[in-house]
Amino acid sequence: NAGVTQTPKFQVLKTGQSMTLQCAQDMNHNSMYWYRQDPGMGLRLIYYSASEGTTDKGEVPNGYNVSRLNKREFSLRLESAAPSQTSVYFCASSPGQGGADTQYFGPGTRLTVL
Amino acid sequence: GNSVTQMEGPVTLSEEAFLTINCTYTATGYPSLFWYVQYPGEGLQLLLKATKADDKGSNKGFEATYRKETTSFHLEKGSVQVSDSAVYFCALSDRGNQGGKLIFGQGTELSVKP
């Protein structure tokens, strides 16, 4: 039981390049999330998927797109990377039973945009 | 809107010292409250949570009590260890929240010296 896995662990991009961050969970959770973590700002929600087949914007969605490929997988795409997107990205999942759910986090992807 | 405010870090303590990390929140309704911990190089993991007023969450010697009258959820531990060195995040989730979205505080870094 691996929990939440993310690939890659590290990535360096040049401004304007595109890439997709992959996330998968093996806990049969309904809800999945993408956050970014920046110094002094905690974690901010980019996009989330309350259940398979649905996605919604979070606090900071601009410059990102997501795909809930199936119940297990939730990918985050940067179409044209900008230096402001340099951050650590975390994927998380939860059972999807409401506001008291525990979220389970992946190990993160450290992205640098030059 | 909903928000979470934590005490500024970093906090440096000696082993066996008493720890308090303050957390206050602003929310409509009756949110669930969480403390997550992030050890160096890892993703976040749930430390404890409370879902209604006067509930006390506890785990690994850490405690926090949901105080509705002061809108607070301060984290405490009676005797910290070097292994408690990490970043601690307070978070809230609206009770009726579709998809269980979390709003995080900025995080408080704790360093415990032997």
Q: Can you give the pLDDT of all 114 residues of chain B as single tens digits?
A: 889 999 888 999 999 999 999 999 999 888 999 999 999 989 999 999 999 999 999 999 999 999 999 999 999 999 999 999 999 999 998 755 556 789 999 999 999 999
Give A98 to chain B, closest Cα distance, Å: 5
Which tokens go with B48? 């404890």
Q: Provide CB contacts within 8 A for B75, sequence distance 6+.
A: B19, B20, B21, B23, B35, B47, B62, B63, B64, B88, B90
Output DSSP code: residue A102.
Answer: P
Chain B interface, best mutation among A101, A104, A109, by max B CB count within 10 A = A101
Give the CA distances from residue B39 to residues A107, B23, B105, B110, B112, in Å, rounded to whole numbers and listed in that order: 11, 19, 17, 10, 13
CB proximity A47 to B under 8 Å = no
